[in-house]
Chain A
Amino acid sequence: MIKTTGFYDLCIQESLFTSLLTNNDLIESLKSLHNFGYRTIAVNQSIDDGNIEVGKKKKKREPRETQDIVPVPFNLKRIQDVVAQLQLENFVVLNRLTVFFSHQEALHKITKSTNYKKFHIIAAAPTTMPAFTFTCTSLEADIFSFNPENKFNMRLNRKHYNLLIDRGFHFELLYSAAIQDSTKRKNLIHASHLFHAFGKSKNIIFSSGAENFMYIRSPYDIINLGFIFGLSELQCKSAVFHCPSKVVLNSVGRRHGKAVMFVENIESEKEDVIMLQESEGEDMETDQPRQKKTKI
Chain B
Amino acid sequence: MVRHKNRYILLEVKEIGRSDRSHLKLKEPSLYTAILKMVEKLHGDFGVAAIRAGFVAKYINQHTRTGIIRCRRGPHKLISSCIPFIKMVEDKIVSLNMLYVGATLRHCFGFLRNYQLKKFNEYCVSLNSEEEKAALREVMMSFEKLADRL
Q: Which A residues have a C-beta under 8 Å from some C-beta of B? A: 158, 182, 185-190, 193-194, 197, 228
Contact = CB atoms under 8 A, between A and B. Distances in A.
B49 A187 contact: yes
A283 to B, nearest CB: 49
Interface residues of B, number: 10
B4 interface: yes
A190 B45 CA distance: 10
B1 A182 contact: no
Given A190-B49, A193-B50, A197-B72, 18 more contacts: A158-B1, A182-B45, A185-B45, A185-B49, A186-B49, A186-B52, A187-B49, A188-B49, A189-B45, A189-B46, A189-B50, A190-B52, A190-B53, A193-B49, A193-B53, A194-B53, A197-B53, A228-B46
Contacts, number: 26
A96 B52 CA distance: 32
Given A193-B50, A194-B53, A197-B53, A186 B45 contact: yes
Nearest to B48: A186
17 contacts: A186-B45, A186-B48, A186-B49, A186-B52, A187-B49, A188-B49, A189-B45, A189-B46, A190-B49, A190-B50, A190-B53, A193-B49, A193-B50, A193-B53, A197-B4, A197-B53, A228-B46
Contacts of A189: 45-46, 49-50
A182 B40 CA distance: 11
Contacts of B48: 186
Contacts of A182: 45
Contacts of B50: 189-190, 193
A228 B52 CA distance: 15
A228 B44 CA distance: 12
Contacts of A188: 49
Interface in B86-127: none
A228 B49 CA distance: 10
Interface of B: 1, 4, 45-46, 48-50, 52-53, 72
A194 B45 CA distance: 16
A186 B45 CA distance: 6
B40 to A, nearest CB: 9
A182 B48 CA distance: 10
A193 B45 CA distance: 13
A295 B52 CA distance: 62
A215 B95 CA distance: 43
A236 to B, nearest CB: 16
Contacts of B53: 190, 193-194, 197
Nearest to A184: B45
Interface centre among B1, B50, B72 (most CB of A within 10 A): B50
Contacts of B4: 197
A262 to B, nearest CB: 40
B33 to A, nearest CB: 15
A188 B49 CA distance: 8
A190 B49 CA distance: 5
A188 B45 CA distance: 10
A162 to B, nearest CB: 11
Nearest to A182: B45
Contacts of A186: 45, 48-49, 52
B16 to A, nearest CB: 32
Nearest to A185: B45
Nearest to A193: B50
Contacts of B72: 197
Nearest to A178: B45
Contacts of A228: 46
Nearest to A187: B49
Q: Counting chain B CB atoms within 10 Å of each CB, which of A158, A188, A189, A194 scores highest?
A: A189
Nearest to A227: B46
Contacts of B46: 189, 228
